[in-house]
Structure 1
Amino acid sequence: MVPNLVLRLFLIGVLASEIWTQDRPGSLSSECLGSLLRVALNAEYFEDKYLIFAVVDQFGTAQEIDETLAAQCGYTIEYNYWGNIEFRASIISCYTHIESDVYTLTVQIQAANNPDMKNALTHLKIVSCPYSPWHPRELVCETNYMEVSVRRNVPQITADVLQDEPEDWALAFPEATAGAVSIWQVVFHLPTGRKALLASDAQNAGYGLNTTDTRILLRAPYNATEAQLVKVRGVTFSAVRASTFYKQRWMILMVDTAVACPIDGMEYTDDTIIWTIPKNLQTLSAGATSFNDLLVEIGVDLHKLSAREIASRKYVLSNNTDEITIQMPIGAEGGYYKTHVSEGQHGTKYYINLFLEHQWEDNRWGVTKHTIIKKIETPFKLVPPTITNNTNSSIRLVNVTVGTFLPDVELVNLTIDDTTVTVPEALQHGYKVYETRYPNGSKGYIIETPFDVPSIKKEYLTEDTRLYTLNVTLGFIVQPTHETFTVPVITISPVKDAVLPSARGFCDDDNLYLTVIHGNVDQNWLPFISNLSLSSDAAQKHNYGLDDNGTHLTIRVPLYAPHVLYEEIHPSGITASLHLTMKDNTHADMIDFSISCRFSPKELIDCLPNGTMVITALKLAGITDLDTSLFVLRDKQCRPVSVTEKSATFIFNMNTCGTSRKFEDTVMTYENEVSYFRPGSTTPIYQLKCACQYIINETIVVQYSSRNNPAPSVEPGFGSLALTLRLFKDQSYSDSYVEIEYPVVKYLKEALYFEVELLHSEDPQLELYLEDCWATTSQDRDSSPQWSIITDSCENAEDSHQTIFHKVDSDSRVKFPTHLKRFEVKMFTFMQDGNALLEQIYFHCSVVICDARRPASDLLCARRCIPRKQRLGRSVEAYHMHGHVSSGAVLMKSK
């Protein structure tokens, strides 16, 4: 088949500045194969060349071959994926010179290194093939055309006619036999009737018509308009039924020029190819009543196989009354494999060029020779590459072999840690790549890298074993089709070389400490307390300390931090513990450490001079389902005034809530206890005894007076409150930017006027306070870097970026001034390496909603700037709620 602009065979015009008209030795070879001739091109010489094929006519003119001319004149150009190229021609093609049963064709091949064909070299190959004798009818089914040639006969003269005018017949007969023969008309027999075309019209339709001294020929492409698809015993044939009329000087003769060629008939199993060719086709046997098989032969690449060769290659040839069947194993000698890619997966196809020659005799035609050339391509077969781990732990070297591949596969890149590098560049990442060849011509690739390269993942497995994991993706290309596929290579090698981290702990008056001594398995492990990463912003907000000098990791956690567990609370002390988990980068638990210390309980009980007790009850580690909001005192009506997940705070007078009093020498002691009861139970599962002691010889003046019980009051409940952060255009706070105006563009140091408002509330007893405000370069308020604007309700006092609070008064828009806070800040930008980052900036605030009636009971809601480090740790958080709010983007514009 002539490829159409495929790979190296380009049928284009010639611009040759240098022409050689000789056949360079060894570049071309030819052979005669019955009624076909073949010119083979040396793959090594013509590799990566651009080629033009032509034949030279009787006038010395090169007729360039394209697909149409090839099918019409009897030429076939084929190549395989291994670079082999061949030219085949019918010996009675259009431009063959015939003399005494010797058929000569001159083939011209132009080869160039560039598609423009400049400096092309021209090679001429003259091929002469003898062929005799011809059979009365010969059919050829090539890969791109069908051909039939039949013997033409001048009718024999009967004896009585010769006796009447013997001299006249003697003179006329030689003239008739030597007279020029020309094809006059072709009549096609179609299901709808007959269709006659003059010879010139048939040639314009793509048919090839030719005569020799002894034969008439018709050649047709498989897709000819008059070709019919005929199914015989399940096999589809392309058939042309035609009668060809030709004339000599004084007569017109007609010959049947029907031809039929199979276009399928192939079946495939996992390991076998089955080719079935029905016999006795009606198109070819019309008018015949008797048939006799004379010969059935098969071959590969147009070379016939002997019976011994057929058996050695494990081919099976069957011939019965109705059909001929050829069975052959996939991969048998004579064919070849080629790599292909389907849906990104590596696999192969098997190719082989078979041909069949079938000769039979009937009572109409005599002997017919039918030659069928079949290019077979098996379906795609998935072949996953094998991966062999040859890692040598003694020399600490990962060694992996990937393969096997056919020679047309080439490794072109490796993807290491999401970075794709070429094979030469892989050496810079610590990877060596070798190609290894096997005796059968296939090949594989060897990947080597030391254990200590960063891309080798190291994981702890047991007390002394580490897993070394190679995870690299190999990228391959298939030549010459340029198909690509990848092979992920993951190998895991256990090696007994693990040194686990160890830890020691200690405590001071206010903190728990753990120091972890690194081993060789925890380079990428991360420290966690519960599910909190100690490298997160949340850990920093809790004042957790983290210091890693490469060999030691030291962690500091305050005693009353949220993640400290309390195992025992006793008047003599509190037993608190800290549990640290080291996790790998997948957050899988790897190893745990813990420290427990006993602390003085003085921070949990505060005895005020006015007779008030403040008790903070802590949740113990062993009671997982304990609800701190259900803590009670001896008088179960006394509930905590502040509750967190881990604690509950009580504030009560010593004369209430069931407090008892006793005197011992000079000491007066008030006692109560915090208890926790499971619902429906009368026995507490948690009891914390609390006591306040006063020295009796101190003088304390206490005034008693009677009063009525206070009327019940309704405290603010919990709910969802909406907040908004707006940016206004000037200090009047009358016109804010709307959503479609973001990002807002501002110049450096230009004033930004912000307003935070509690929405949808009509409660005048609520008051909004700003706890912290900050700026980021991302919409994520926890992202870095950050710049503080308001900290602990205090404005940023840096000279160049000072934050200014603005008073809020009632007006037509503001009904409750306590529901709003306003502040002003100068436009700034983040810096990196001394350069301004002209990125969008987002502003965020953490907000607390307080009960305006109880500011004194909680310094978080006090109406003045009080740094957090000066606040009491027992704020009555039941009277306020927290929230966050963020602005749209603000972009700095350079002047």
Structure 2
Amino acid sequence: MAFEICFSVAMLFSLWLAAECDDLPFEVHQVECRDHYVWAVVELAFAGEDVHFEAVDETGIHPITEEYAAMCGYTASVLPLSGLVELRSSYFSCHTENKDGVFKLNFNLLVTHDGHLVRYNFNKTCTPAAAWSPREITCEVNYMEVSLRNEVTCSSVKMADDWNDALRAPYTSAVSDWQVVFQRAGEQSMPMNVSEARKQGYWFDLMDERLVFRTPYGQPDSFSTEMSGVPVEVVHATLFSRQSWVVIMVDLVAACSMDEGSYDNGYIMWDIPDMLHPLVSGIYDTQVNVGVNGKLEEQPVAEQRGYMVEKHNATVMISIPYNAEGGYRKSLHLMGDLYEYYVFHLYVEQISMDEDDVNTRLRFQKTLATPLLPRPVFTENRTVLEDRVFTVYLGDVPEDVKLTAVQLNGHMYIVPFINSSGHTITEVVHDNHTHDYTVQVPFDHHVVTEQFSREDEAIKHMLDINFTLTVLPENEHFYHHTSVYALTDASPPEFEANCSETGIIFKMDHRPFDYLWFISIGSERLTPELAAEHKYNMRNDSQSLVLEVPLFTDGYQYKNISLKGFLGTFEILVRDRNTSEVQRSTVKTCPFTRLEFIFCSTDGKMTVAADLSGMIPPGDPARSNLMDKYCGPREADETRALFSFPVNSCGSTVRLFKENVIYQNEILYTRKLRESTQLSDNSTEQSVAVNVPSPDRVVVECMYPLSGLHRLFSIYRFESDTVGVGHITTSPSLTEPETTTMKPTVTVTHTTPPTRRTRRPAVFQPAFHPPVRYVRVSPFRYLESLKRGKKKSLFLFMINLKASQFKKSLFLNLFSTGIKGTTHVKANDKHV
């Protein structure tokens, strides 16, 4: 914005006013005509604190300095609490144009923008709505002003003799020019003309209808006194002039209450005497009206706001609630604490009526402030334990104080929080010019510290919060600290489970209170010894426990078994240290694929997938079968077959050993061979069809420990405490093939089989089972008791014994707890 410096040239005033100054933007200023002065304000953000005013009239430009303002009737103030720069100008100020009761005022505002000085002009024309009282006294913050009507009124009060003596000197020395003397404590100064008085800071002016006298506070000719216990500053000037044989004398007395105000029990109080000075106000009648910021309030409004005017003896006491509407509040940080104070620009009108029914209207502009009042903010723990979220309320924060940062257990976060921080903060603004904040932090947030309380046997979640609050606009920081904690039941440890190609991996991070529980696989406690026994890979250090469970080790459960694969499930239990009750379970199910596998379940079922591609001669896996040719595969593809059958069926054999019992079966092909046979008696060849098993076979077997058996055979069901260990073995046939009935003279010639493939090693593949109390493995009734006998006999008796041979004939009852090695059963039963 372009600007030019305004020059004080009277001859070019009108041209300069139009061309040299910018008009003050309408949106940043306000000008009003009030009852005895012009009120103008400019936004502080626009003007800045380094602002100056100039009065402009036909004689030129007059800078309004502090001294000049007090003498000429101006009051300029920077009001940071309201964000304004204020100028009050009396209608009788030095450079006001007054014609027929119409007052015109012109001003310049000087501000600095971007390092450059800029002048803005504003003006106002006012016609006061209310009529002037015969005597008007204004007590501004920087000057006193008295204006009198030009009509001379003779008082009916009889003057004292000393007063007449005091007037003798002015009377005898009076000249035609106006002169003035100042009187104080029975003394009077030497007469001086008006021009000399102006040099000393006094202003006298004779306007169209009124005589005006104005003086700053603290002049040498003023004096202080007390009226009804209230300090009062008084200036008593006598203006006189001799016109022929008549001397005209006018008493111009200004008296203002100098009470600084007080604060008590939540009220700001200010006192004025009912009679400021005998020559100023009488005691016949007095009326007091109160307002703020240069405006009087109607009586109902004043009462609603809590303003009180009370008269005690000869003193008028004005009381205002410290936080009443119309005041300004400011926060202040001092010595690490937060304080506040309130400022009121009090406006009081006192109307006094003397015995001659002459009104004296006194107007007071007084700025009152409370002392520094402690203003602590407070915090409140509003945490709901079930939500597992710390909720901390910071309340009663003044509107000029902002929360700028929050420190959570040493971690600093700037307000507002980012959405990804995991914690939140909300602000609520209230009508009483305060606001509050609510901080929420989940218990499981990484900043929250946890500690096990042995006394409470609970987890103690702790959060230390340090709020950084900033006082505006000074940007002064202060801090408010609080600590909260919450007790929750100690939660059992939790495992993280992941699938791998070879099994399932479980991981648990250690906590200080994990000793309240123990880990088990089924009913067995997890120890390094148990892990070694079951071939688990366990790593346990100060940070975490890692358990790798290979496939087919103890504890697995299998389902959805097919040639495409199966699902393996493993479960880890967390049990209470004292009661062994299960507190938490971590179950992980993973898909697996294997070319071959075998499962021996606790209910006596063998499920096996075997690769038959290496059998000689090759065949269709779908046409393979077990020892019982009616037991075919449940599923087959080009090279493999899947069988699922009870271990004591489909031609299985049972072998009993010192500590184990083994169920064995074979997967084979059955084919018809055409062979030529030569009859010895007539050398005639006959073609005889014989069924010959394949020379190669796949042997499958399940081995169960006797320690887990309570009953070896049962006609109802098979049950075992543990799963069996499965083997898949490819080997040559050990059993001679059975042939059809032949005549004795016929010689059977067998076709020589092709070369057999190399024997594959046995694979041990355990499976998971639920715990049971006993096992029944035979489809026969059991004997009533075991009888002593030779161990060797029973051992030989059980070797290579086919399960089908026992049907309807043999009942054995072998209790695993009584078997030591191989036991001989005495054959006293007629079936044995």
Within a 5 Å distance, the mapping from 1:657-672 to structure 2 comes to: none
Q: 1:434 to 1:517 in 2, by over 3 A?
A: closer
| Residue matched to 1:397 | 389
Q: 1:155 to 1:381 in 2, by over 3 A?
A: closer
State how far apart, in whole Å, the 1-side matches of 2:241 and 2:392 are.
73
Structure 1, unmatched stretches of 5+, are: 1-11, 157-179, 502-515, 524-546, 553-895
Q: Which amino acid aligns with 1:75?
A: Y
Within a 5 Å distance, the mapping from 1:434-583 to structure 2 comes to: 434-453=426-445, 455-461=447-453, 462=455, 464-497=457-490, 518-519=510-511, 549-551=542-544
Q: 1:209 to 1:472 in 2, by over 3 A?
A: farther
State how far apart, in whole Å, the 1-side matches of 2:129 and 2:48 are.
35
State how far apart, in whole Å, the 2-side matches of 1:338 and 1:376 are.
13
Q: For 1:737-763, what per-residue CA distance to the aligned partner results, in whole angstroms no more than 9, with x for missing partners?
A: xxxxxxxxxxxxxxxxxxxxxxxxxxx
Q: Which amino acid aligns with 2:342?
A: Y
| Match among 257, 261, 265 for residue 270 of structure 1 | 265
| Match among 287, 303, 324 for residue 332 of structure 1 | 324
Deviation (angstroms), 1:249:
10
State how far apart, in whole Å, the 2-side matches of 1:307 and 1:336 are.
21
User: Quick check: 2:346–2:366 contact (8 Å CA) kept in 1?
Assistant: yes
| TM-score normalised to structure 1 length | 0.47
Q: Is 1:318–2:319 an aligned residue pair?
A: no
Q: For 1:795-838, what per-residue CA distance to the aligned partner results, in whole angstroms no more than 9, with x for missing partners?
A: xxxxxxxxxxxxxxxxxxxxxxxxxxxxxxxxxxxxxxxxxxxx
User: Quick check: 2:390–2:443 contact (8 Å CA) kept in 1?
Assistant: yes
3-state SS in 2 of match to 1:258? strand
Q: Which amino acid aligns with 2:390?
A: V
State how far apart, in whole Å, the 1-side matches of 2:233 and 2:153 are.
32
User: Quick check: 1:182–1:211 contact (8 Å CA) kept in 2?
Assistant: no
Deviation (angstroms), 1:283:
5.7
| Residue matched to 1:142 | 140
Q: Which amino acid aligns with 2:397?
A: F
Q: Is 1:212–2:223 an aligned residue pair?
A: no
Q: For 1:30-84, what per-residue CA distance to the aligned partner results, in whole angstroms no more than 9, with x for missing partners?
A: 22222122123356x737575332221223x332222212211111223251313
Q: Which amino acid aligns with 1:22?
A: D
Q: 1:445 to 1:110 in 2, by over 3 A?
A: farther
Within a 5 Å distance, the mapping from 1:252-401 to structure 2 comes to: 253-264=248-259, 266-282=261-277, 284-285=279-280, 291-293=283-285, 295-319=287-311, 322-363=314-355, 366-391=358-383, 393=385, 396-401=388-393
State how far apart, in whole Å, the 2-side matches of 1:98 and 1:342 are.
50
| Residue matched to 2:189 | 194
| Residue matched to 2:28 | 27
Identity %: 25
| Match among 111, 119, 122 for residue 120 of structure 2 | 122
State how far apart, in whole Å, the 1-side matches of 2:465 and 2:374 are.
22
State how far apart, in whole Å, the 1-side matches of 2:369 and 2:192 are.
37
Q: 1:359 to 1:517 in 2, by over 3 A?
A: closer
User: Quick check: 1:386–1:402 contact (8 Å CA) kept in 2?
Assistant: yes
Deviation (angstroms), 1:360:
1.8
User: Quick check: 1:101–1:131 contact (8 Å CA) kept in 2?
Assistant: no
What is the CA RMSD across the aligned residues, in angstroms? 4.1
| Residue matched to 1:101 | 101
Deviation (angstroms), 1:421:
6.4
User: Quick check: 2:231–2:259 contact (8 Å CA) kept in 1?
Assistant: yes
| Residue matched to 1:760 | none
3-state SS in 1 of match to 2:23? coil
| Residue matched to 2:81 | 81
Q: 1:522 to 1:185 in 2, by over 3 A?
A: farther
State how far apart, in whole Å, the 2-side matches of 1:464 and 1:63 are.
82
Q: For 1:817-867, what per-residue CA distance to the aligned partner results, in whole angstroms no more than 9, with x for missing partners?
A: xxxxxxxxxxxxxxxxxxxxxxxxxxxxxxxxxxxxxxxxxxxxxxxxxxx
User: Quick check: 1:260–1:283 contact (8 Å CA) kept in 2?
Assistant: no
| Residue matched to 1:230 | 225
Deviation (angstroms), 1:330:
2.9
Structure 2, unmatched stretches of 5+, are: 8-15, 155-174, 495-507, 516-539, 546-832
Q: 1:486 to 1:192 in 2, by over 3 A?
A: farther
3-state SS in 2 of match to 1:224? coil
Q: For 1:664-713, what per-residue CA distance to the aligned partner results, in whole angstroms no more than 9, with x for missing partners?
A: xxxxxxxxxxxxxxxxxxxxxxxxxxxxxxxxxxxxxxxxxxxxxxxxxx
Which stretch of structure 1 is more off in the superposition, 266-275 or 98-107? 266-275
User: Quick check: 1:348–1:381 contact (8 Å CA) kept in 2?
Assistant: yes
3-state SS in 2 of match to 1:264? coil
State how far apart, in whole Å, the 1-side matches of 2:469 and 2:435 are.
13
Deviation (angstroms), 1:250:
10
Q: Which amino acid aligns with 1:126?
A: K
3-state SS in 2 of match to 1:282? coil
Q: For 1:350-406, what per-residue CA distance to the aligned partner results, in whole angstroms no more than 9, with x for missing partners?
A: 332222212223357932111112222122222221212233555543332212222
Deviation (angstroms), 1:220:
2.2
Deviation (angstroms), 1:104:
1.5
3-state SS in 1 of match to 2:107? strand
User: Quick check: 1:140–1:372 contact (8 Å CA) kept in 2?
Assistant: yes
Q: Is 1:91–2:91 an aligned residue pair?
A: yes
State how far apart, in whole Å, the 2-side matches of 1:417 and 1:210 are.
72
3-state SS in 2 of match to 1:229? strand
Deviation (angstroms), 1:481:
4.2
Higher relative contact order, chain-length normalized (CA < 8 Å, sep 6+): 2
Deviation (angstroms), 1:207:
3.0
User: Quick check: 2:76–2:87 contact (8 Å CA) kept in 1?
Assistant: yes
Q: 1:439 to 1:369 in 2, by over 3 A?
A: closer
Q: Which amino acid aligns with 2:65?
A: D
Deviation (angstroms), 1:143:
1.7
Q: Is 1:66–2:61 an aligned residue pair?
A: no
Q: 1:31 to 1:455 in 2, by over 3 A?
A: same
Q: Which amino acid aligns with 1:233?
A: S
| TM-score normalised to structure 2 length | 0.50
Q: 1:404 to 1:294 in 2, by over 3 A?
A: closer
